[in-house]
Amino acid sequence: MTGGTIELVRTDPRVRRTHRALHDAMVALCLLDGFRSVTVDQLVEHAGVTRATFYTHFRDKEHLLLALAEQVVGDVLDRFQQADGGDRLQLLFEDAEAHPDRLRVVLRGEGDGVALRRFVDAVAAVVAEVDVDALAAGMPPLVADPELAARAFAGQVVEVLRWWVDAGADGRPRPHRDDVVLQLRRLAITGRTDPADPRRSPLMAASAATHSHP
């Protein structure tokens, strides 16, 4: 899960503890002062490891940030694979609500945006897969180029997710998670399908019911 337990290919518990400590240190320091201000000395002090241990596992702080991004992306993809279609969005926002800090580091574009681009690519790939499955199931084609449509919706999801997670961190009122998910689904359908597309009817009905019963 995003921000949850780090699952590594290596099974050595000492490696898991070291990676978890360094990941947590990177998250805490990035959120405090930003990635550019983070030093290896700060990372090892915060994680409680030596510089030698750090360099045994990571080339530099950029390598550590990329590893953190890969962990977040892997967790998100694992969550996506647990559900079908629309439920993926629900799971993504549930996970973000439960474990926001790692995701905030990625969504803020720390490290020249490398982690963010990796995350957007992963979300777009899942959106494209859902679109292909819908077409194979007999749904009408989208009104936009499939790759453009997948990228556009992935961009919406990621930007709304960043805005929503940050709202909880800086004290701004955070809209209810389920309402945000419903509105994103509505945007995906109305913005990417023909008015006669059968996917519109149940979504519009659900939206009307939700907004009439706050």
| 90-115 pLDDT, tens digit each | 888 988 888 889 889 989 888 888 87
DSSP state of 5: P
Residues of the chain with pLDDT under 50: 1-9, 207-214
Q: Can you give the pLDDT at residue 201?
A: 80
Residue whose C-alpha is closest to residue 70's, from 25, 9, 11, 131: 9
Q: Count Cα neighbours of 68 within 13 Å in the Cβ-side half-sphere.
A: 33
C-alpha neighbours within 13 Å on the C-beta side of residue 21: 18
The answer to the question of residue 149 being in a domain is yes
Q: How far apart are CA 185 and CA 160, in angstroms?
A: 12
Please report whether residue 72 resides in a domain.
Answer: yes
pLDDT value at residue 211: 35
What's the confidence (pLDDT) of residue 40?
97
State how far the alpha carbon of 153 is from the alpha carbons of 28, 92, 146, 158, 192, in Å: 30, 14, 11, 9, 9
Tokens of residue 49, six digits: 């490891």
Q: Is residue 21 part of a domain?
A: no
Segments forming the whole domain that contains residue 195: 62-212
The answer to the question of residue 86 being in a domain is yes
At 72, the amino acid letter reads V
Task: Output the domain CATH number for residue 100.
Answer: 1.10.357
177 in a domain, yes or no? yes
42 domain-assigned: no
Do 68 and 77 form a contact (C-beta atoms < 8 A)? no
Helix locations, the chain, DSSP H: 13-33, 40-47, 51-57, 61-80, 87-98, 100-107, 114-136, 146-169, 177-192, 200-212
Distances (CA, A) of 132 to 141, 147, 155: 9, 11, 18
The reply to whether 18 falls in a domain is no
| C-alpha span between 202 and 180 (Å, rounded) | 17
Distance, in Å, from the CA atom of 198 to the CA atom of 139, rounded to the nearest integer, reads 8
Helix-helix angle 114-136:100-107, to 10 degrees:
100
Q: What's the number of domains the chain is made of? A: 1
- Give me the pLDDT at residue 6, please: 38
